Structure 1
């Protein structure tokens, strides 16, 4: 066959098709690479979030343990003060039994009057 005037157009169209096919292959590879990179970033981010949550949980547990320890110390101090107060009251009753009876009687009378007046 002899060359015609449309042969260069057909050649150019053929090369255009080849280039478009290669562009599609390259785009597909780029999308696969981007998806792979995004997946890896997600895995790294997930690991970082898990590590941060674990660290936060450990810090919370440590704070709870310390708060429990401090509460126990406060309770012990209050119990000691209560014992001291009870000992001081017992000592006062031993030293002044008549005055102690009078104060107890007056307090009971006052409480009973307050209880009756509210009815």
Structure 2
């Protein structure tokens, strides 16, 4: 007896179902594999981010330390300039004591006049 059209259709549908089942299984396997690979990549990426953040923190600390040292250098330079200015003023006072006294007296008198003028 030869297969009927219904038998052929049932056979084809059965074969189609088997192929669909196999395709779904393959898709599930692919998704599991992709998920595992993505998880591994995520872990690597996370480790890289942590590493870069730690390196950035260390660089920031080093920059802060260098900034502190640079500030100390600037303060030292300003202190040296201040000492030089005071020495220069002391030398000028030693060279011309009378003129220095006159300038100091005139400056005091002007400040006193200005202070009294603001009270009125």
Distance across 2 between alignment mates of 1:7 and 1:53:
68
Q: Give me the TM-score of the superposition, normalised by structure 1.
A: 0.83
Is 1:47 paired with 2:47? Answer: yes
Q: CA deviation at 1:8?
A: 2.2
Distance across 2 between alignment mates of 1:23 and 1:66:
63
Distance across 2 between alignment mates of 1:83 and 1:34:
72
Query: Superposition RMSD on alpha carbons, in Å?
Result: 2.0
Unaligned runs of at least 5 residues, structure 1: none
Between the two proteins, the alignment pairs up a number of residues equal to 118
Is 1:30 paired with 2:30? Answer: yes
Distance across 1 between alignment mates of 2:108 and 2:88:
21
Q: CA deviation at 1:91?
A: 2.8
Unaligned runs of at least 5 residues, structure 2: none
Aligned to 2:64: 64
Distance across 1 between alignment mates of 2:23 and 2:116:
99
Q: Give me the TM-score of the superposition, normalised by structure 2.
A: 0.82
